[in-house]
Amino acid sequence: MAERRVWLAAALALLCAAAFLGLNLRGNIAFVLELRALKLLALVQVAVAVAVATVLLQTITGNRILTPSIMGLDALYLLGQTALVFLLGGIGFAAVDPRLKFVIALAAMVGLAAAVFLPLVRARHSLTVLLLTGALLGILFRSLSSLLARLIDPNDFAVLQGVSYANFNAPQGELLAIGAVLTAVAAAVAWRQRHVLDVMALGPAGAISLGVDWRWSVAGVLLLVVLLVAVSTALVGPVAFLGLLVVALAERLTGTRRHAVLLPAAACIAVTVLAGGQAVLQHGLGGASTLGVVVEFLGGLVFLLLLATGNRR
Amino acid sequence: MIAIDGVSLTLQGTPILHDVSATLPKGELIALIGPNGAGKSSLLSLVARLIPLQSGRITVDGLPVDRTPGRRLARTLTIMRQDTGLAARLTVRELVGFGRFPHSRGRLTDEDRRHIAAALAEFDLTELAGRTLDALSGGQRQRAFVAMAFCQGTDYLLLDEPLNNLDMMYGRQMMRILRHLVDRQGRTVVIVLHDINYAAAYADRIVAMKDGRIIASGPPDAVLTTDGLEAMYGYRMPVHRIGDRLFIPHHD
């Protein structure tokens, strides 16, 4: 049954993607289609990256209300970008190849994640400790970013703004290729390891007892999460609750946490939300709002709902 | 045989185990008893490599637990603890099926399915197989976890307080199943027990711990004496013999 629900989610995702591409086609159709196809590619990447990253993080931390951004992972990416603007200046920053900037920010993220988050996740502290530490680290990274942002001149600041807000309308086109490769590789690795991930969801004792090398596996999964968060943040900026929203919906739809079902279902629902939401906002509501705001609002509601219904684990 | 040699453990500056050495022979039901904080669970966790070994040596059938690859060891030794993680939404059948992971890496074969069905039947779980864990009582969940350890098919089973949450009927059934595993299948069961009467009735050997040390080890008759129990728990309790059974009214 759960498998059939995945196909349902996939069909919905395809429908929304088609709507995004095909609604209100006017003027030079080839040109519009190309533009939209590139945007859709970015949205699909972000959707898959956020969905998979959230599932993986929830699995290794053993609770279902965490998302990478509650843990401050995307703030880490932004800190890297801000530091680059600070060091190079706005003009210098704009002149650097975005791919190079991405790689630098990614390297900083991997380093910091290894230093800060790995010990936290390995020790598997209680949910409260994890949440508090993650939230504090997020605040620390964001404060550092805004401190640096205050130190730069207004022109540089304008450059920085471009990268620090979620924007589904104008994804960073230069990063599409590298993002597609990274997302595909990370998603494929997660899929191949789906049975191991199922076992890891039992917690360290259960997983070790079943022969999983917990320390290395956690490090590997965390690396995947960092890669995926970097991709999505680089493409459209930080999205706090999207992951939580789609994983909670996927779990509700399929009624299981088996990764063979949950991973594709969450990814398909994320595509549905992003492509469908964008299509509705653009064509139905005439661009009245930005998708980022709507997704954050809904995701925030789901977060509160999960807390209120006591579904914390 | 589980050979523990000169094992000490310190966690966050607090010494937990002091130079513990013991030999647990194969094919016996061995009960670890002792007051809270004696180090029973820690010792079990060290044997099951849940805590990294700090000093000393532990081998299971000659395999050193700190250097043998996890996958190899998972076919020889398993531990049952009640740490469910995100498992709450699993069905009983899925949970028990995880026991086959070391053998088939998640792709269940027909043989795996036979093992799962046998484990479900053994622990009286067949009717509950489709229920999720969060829809079970504490005792039913407990049986599901032990069934998963059983399904793993290892020669050595380590069980940390498997009688928690079980009523008398299922407590007795659990001990009889474990006894059966030892007698009929030649498996070795090491179990942390709090009720010394269960230990007296079912164990071949009792290892008594206190303050991070093993203070006595041997058959129940030798370990469960009024003096020995006083050294462990700090008060005197009578030890009666009824038929060939020891009976210790420790709650008076």
Span A174-219, pLDDT tens digits: 778 888 899 999 999 999 999 999 888 888 888 888 888 888 888 8
Contact: A209, B48; criterion CB under 8 Å: yes
Torsion of CA A260, A262, A267, A273, to 10 degrees: 160
* Cβ atoms within 10 Å, residue A87: 11
Alpha-carbon gap, residue B140 to B136, rounded angstroms: 6
Number of domains in chain A: 1
Contact check, Cβ <8 Å, B79/A209: yes
How confident is the model over B205-226, as a mean pLDDT?
A: 89
Q: How confident is the model over A211-243, as pLDDT tens digits?
A: 888 888 888 888 898 888 888 887 877 776 888
Q: What is the 3-state secondary structure (H, E, C) of B117-180?
A: HHHHHHCCCHHHCCCEHHHCCHHHHHHHHHHHHHHCCCCEEEEECCCCCCCHHHHHHHHHHHHH
Model confidence at A112, pLDDT cuts 50, 70, 90, reads confident
CB atoms within 10 A of CB B72: 12
List chain A residues with CB under 8 Å of B71.
Answer: 211
A105: pLDDT strictly greater than 90: no
Which member of A206, A208, A212 has the closest CB to residue B85?
A206
In this complex, is the C-beta atom of B241 within 8 Å of any C-beta atom belonging to chain A?
Answer: no
Q: In chain B, whose CA is at the least distance from the CA of A203?
A: B85
CA distance A24 to A282: 10
Q: Helices (DSSP H) in chain B: which residue ranges?
A: 40-47, 70-73, 92-98, 101-104, 110-122, 138-151, 168-185, 196-202, 220-223, 226-233
pLDDT in tens, B71-113: 888 889 998 876 655 566 788 898 898 888 888 887 888 888 8
Min mean pLDDT across A78-87, A139-148, A252-261 is at A78-87
d(Cα B129, Cα B137) in Å, to the nearest integer? 14
Residue A313 belongs to some domain of the structure? no
| Confidence (pLDDT) at A242 | 85
List of chain B residues whose C-beta atoms are within 8 Å of the C-beta of residue A58: 86
Query: CA angle, corner B233, sides to B231 and B235, nearest 5?
Result: 80
- Residue, of A46 and A63, whose pLDDT is higher: A46
Tell me the shortest Cα–Cα distance from B74 to chain A, in angstroms.
5
Residues sharing a CB contact under 8 Å with residue B111, sequence separation 6 or more, in sequence order: none
Contact A203 B107 (CB under 8 A): no
Contact B106 A199 (CB under 8 A): yes
For chain A, give the percent of residues with pLDDT over 90: 10
* Confidence at residue B204, expressed as pLDDT on a 0 to 100 scale: 92
Window from A249-253, A265-269, A293-297, B244-248 with minimum mean pLDDT = A293-297
Residue A64 predicted with pLDDT over 90? no
Among A10-14, A60-64, B110-114, which is the least confidently predicted range? A60-64
Superfamily of domain B1-75+187-252: P-loop containing nucleotide triphosphate hydrolases (3.40.50.300)
Query: Which residues lie below 8 Å from residue B103, measured CB to CB, with a gap of 6+?
Result: B75, B112, B153
Strand, helix or coil for residue B5: strand
Residues belonging to chain B = 252
For A199, the closest of B78, B81, B98 (CB atoms) is B98
Q: What are the chain A neighbours of B85 within 8 Å (beta carbons)?
A: 62, 201-203, 206
Q: Above 0.90 for ipTM, yes or no?
A: no
Model confidence pLDDT, tens digit, residues A265-306: 999 999 998 888 888 887 777 666 667 777 777 777 777 777
Which CATH number does the domain housing residue A88 bear? 1.10.3470.10
Identify the residue whose tokens are 């088939």: B104
For residue B95, the distance in angstroms to the closest alpha carbon of chain A comes to 9
At residue A310 the predicted structure's pLDDT band, cuts being 50, 70 and 90, is low
For residue A286, give its domain range: 2-308
Q: How far apart are CA A174 and CA A64, in angstroms?
A: 34
Chain B residue whose CA is closest to A65: B86
B107 and chain A: CB distance < 8 Å anywhere?
yes
Question: So where are chain B's domains?
Answer: 1-75+187-252
The pLDDT assigned to B226 comes to 87
